[in-house]
Amino acid sequence: LVDPLVTLGIAGYILWMAFSEIAPVIRILMLGSPPQLDIDAVIEVMEQVPDVQEVHHLHVWQMSKHRASLEAHVVVAEGCWDDVSTIKAALRQQLAIRFAILHTTLEMEKSAETCADAARIGSATP
């Protein structure tokens, strides 16, 4: 009688621990956004970089337990297109310092040639 009870107890403990650890793994596998990251704050910091007019089509996902990745379209202010490399470097620096986002893909856009009906976060749905 003791052996089956101990076996059930150990199995229950293993299941309990597995279920408590599975949520973060599923979030990573499903490319979910990091739960501790405030997306609105990320956009606000990005738009405070000089010569950044607007940020849209922003996607943030979790690459591993402690690494996030970001993809966004950045609209550069009129007449600042020659400074795109500097703007991009400043954006990457702010994202790394403020949010520990080290992997970024930034698509730079001229203010006269922005995406039509672009969603602020994610993709626009038809």
**Mean pLDDT of the residues in the chain:** 88
Q: Is the pLDDT of residue 126 over 70?
A: no
Q: What is the pLDDT of residues 2-15, one digit of tens each?
A: 899 999 999 999 99
Six token digits for residue 41: 């704050």
47: Cβ–Cβ under 8 A, 6 or more apart, which residues?
A: 53, 54, 55
pLDDT tens-place string over residues 36-74 = 888 999 999 999 999 999 999 999 998 888 888 999 999
Cα 24 from chain centroid?
15
Domain layout of the chain by residue ranges:
1-30, 31-126
**pLDDT, position 14:** 93
Q: With contact defined as beta carbons under 8 Å apart, do 76 and 52 qualify?
A: yes
CA 55 to chain centre: 13
Question: What b-and-e string marks burial along 1-37, b requiring 16 or more CB atoms within 10 Å of the CB?
Answer: eeeeeeeeeeeeeeeeeeeeeeeeeebbeeeebbeee
CATH class of 31-126: alpha beta
Strand boundaries in 16-100, DSSP class E: 52-64, 67-76
